[in-house]
Amino acid sequence: MVLLVTATFSFAANEVDLKFNLKKGDVTKYRTSIDMTTSQTMGEMVQTVEMNQIFEYTIDVKDIASNGNFSTQITYTRVAINMVAGGMDMAFDSDDESTANPQFSSFGALIGKSINATFTPKGKIIELDGVDAMINELAGDNEAIRTQVEQNLTQSFDDEKMKQMFGGSFIEYPAKLVKVGTKWTENQTINNQFTLNVINNYVVKGVDADFVNLDVTSTLATTPGNKSEMQGMEVSFNLFGTQSGTIKVDKKSGKVVESTVNQNISGNLSADMGGQNMDIPMTVASKSATKIIK
């Protein structure tokens, strides 16, 4: 997650106006680490995938509009992945040439690539561009495989998924001033292989001389009856979960210095296999941590 906020104080009431207050030319580097374990049960067989992902990137404030909206450039600087599944242990790190892996080539090709994001002073992402150009460049010049590569990249890096990747990191703050105990709610819809509806509940837990501390708790649920296609099969997901975390905001810079979120999802997916319906129980447990790095 990458959370940038600012704290402007009304000293009379010790209240805080949470909003972005960045300067043109500000560049901040972040690292997000995600540990995830996914399990699916098919008959008596349990398939488990363990994955650790590290993404490092910079956010560069390129311009500030008259209405206060920020135009930024987000550039990937490092991607590292370690995956254990089916008895295989696969690893890749863009900083380590010895880990080159064709399976993760699209991730490695992200290094040095940029997209542009525009967001309001209250943290709402209103525009994201440069994704199509990035996909076109990553696909390369080999016409024999270009179409398939473009399709695969679009599934991973289209506009909506990029908004989800970074949009969930920009809290949309309330118009009202907040103080210790203030609560607000943010609704999100995440579209991946399925539609996931998320309700985030925030509360200000503490305000001191240097930091604003927030707690977040969330519920997550798929849309009933929502169907999609996966590996040529029609599937529907019935999932529900919760997540909780903490966010620590530096009052002087307005940037989140660290955040941690734990998530647990369980349920099942139903697949139509040649006219025969199969229910597959599944669980997803993950922990994501984001911090500013030098």
Task: Report pLDDT digits (tens) over 199-244.
Answer: 999 999 998 888 889 999 999 999 887 777 766 778 888 999 999 9
- Note whether residue 68 is domain-resident: yes
Task: For residues 101 and 103, give the distance between their C-alpha atoms in angstroms, rounded to a whole number.
Answer: 5
What percentage of the chain exceeds 70 in pLDDT? 83
pLDDT attached to residue 1:
45
pLDDT, mean of residues 174-197: 86
Q: pLDDT at residue 160 above 80?
A: no
- Note whether residue 1 is domain-resident: no
- Note whether residue 237 is domain-resident: yes
CATH number of the domain within which 239 lies: 2.30.230
pLDDT attached to residue 73:
95
Q: Look up the domain containing 69 and give its range.
A: 6-293
Q: Which residue has the tokens 């890096």?
A: 157
Are 19 and 47 in contact, with CB atoms under 8 Å apart?
no
Instruction: Give the count of domains, the chain.
Output: 1
What tokens does 207 get? 């305000």
Torsion angle in degrees (nearest 10) through CA of 118, 124, 126, 131? 60
Q: What is the pLDDT of residues 64-121, one digit of tens each?
A: 999 999 999 999 999 999 999 988 899 999 999 888 877 777 778 789 989 898 988 8
> SS3 for 94?
coil
Q: What is each CA distance from 147 to 109, 139, 142, 152, 232, in whole angstroms?
A: 17, 8, 9, 9, 18
- Note whether residue 56 is domain-resident: yes
Average pLDDT, the chain: 83
Q: H or E element: which one contains 148?
A: helix 143-157
- Note whether residue 253 is domain-resident: yes
pLDDT band for position 150 (50/70/90)?
Answer: low
Q: pLDDT at residue 141 above 60?
A: yes
> Does pTM surpass 0.85?
no
Q: What is the pLDDT of residues 247-271, one digit of tens each?
A: 988 877 777 889 999 999 999 988 8
Q: What is each CA distance from 121 to 145, 202, 215, in whole angstroms?
A: 42, 18, 21
Residue 112: CB atoms within 10 A of its CB come to 9
Radius of gyration for the chain, computed over Cα atoms and rounded to the nearest angstrom: 21
pLDDT band for position 151 (50/70/90)?
Answer: low
pLDDT band for position 163 (50/70/90)?
Answer: low
